[in-house]
Structure 1
Amino acid sequence: MSIRPWPNILLTGTPGTGKTTHAAQLLEALQAAPSTSTAPWQHLNVGDFVKEHQCHSGWNEEWQSWDVDEDRLLDALEVVQQPGAKILDWHTCDMFPERWIDLVVVLRCDHSQLWSRLEKRGYALNKIQENNEAEIMEVILQDARESYAEEIVVELRSESPEEMEENIGRIVAWVEAWRRDHAADDEP
């Protein structure tokens, strides 16, 4: 059982599947729900955190992204464990220790829709192709299943505003159930 009073949630998926949008809406929903509003909910966009806290070894020109220093990043994120109530948003999941995460949500998207989203972001063709291939091959979903207990990994579609709204509702309901299930852990 977790000793945190609130769960930590990892939203992951191929770039362009809606992680940051989901995280922002989830944060808003959790802060508004009477059963979860007392928690100190925080959205951590890990990519932004890497830049802000210099958890990288430099800029990679070929991929137009930072080369992440995972050890430095994990050291900087150690505070994630307590008191929980963190929504982590990143395109990979297998580097986070299992003990940190209570729910892993893998967002999925049809590859043709993903391609369009990445084009609109101005991604280079090689990045679009690599990310599209990763989505088709279910790379992040498989990483999640290999890195975390089966019962905490959830795959959700992210192709429309209706699906996003439904996903947010499911995650809020999960948080409420987690709190009920862990109520005994909160007692002294």
Structure 2
Amino acid sequence: MFPVPFVLLLPLVSAQIYHWGPCPIPSVQPNFDLQKYLGTWYEIAKLPVATARGKCIKADYTLRGDGTISVLNSRFYKDKVRIAEGTAVIQDPNNPAKLGVSFSYFAPYSPYWVVSTDYVSGAVVYSCTDVFRIFHVDYAWIMGRSRFLPADTVEYARELLAKENIDTFMMSVTDQTGCD
């Protein structure tokens, strides 16, 4: 019989991508410039995320007066626009591409690592939750400044993740058609 805490984790990982062992530690964007990264990013592709189903998914990042980053995610799901508001922070000024993000006052910050970006067209983002170093849950996104990226750009982003030992087999393209 599994201990109760493990059983409680099963619904959280059932719609996610999980692997045995601890999280991989990918390289991140060198000399990351938060000011250039702020603004609107559209989700082009992602590993499955239970809380982000739907289409027309985008994220808006703006700097607040206190130095934190406002995160406003929106998606169209079940005939409604769904909004999630959160906060991102640079957790280590010496490594600003490794941000933390939270969508609840009570939740700890989750990793939000900018693996690569050119700031003007695309970005690759990775997050991972390590569960007692027994297994980990992967999250990865390919983001664009426009709703669509060229196929070769998306393939390059997938290859970049794979090179960092991140399994992209279950990555799916986000529907960005028919969006306002």
Give TM-score, length-normalised by structure 1: 0.29
Higher normalized contact order (CA 8 Å, seq sep 6+, divided by chain length): 1
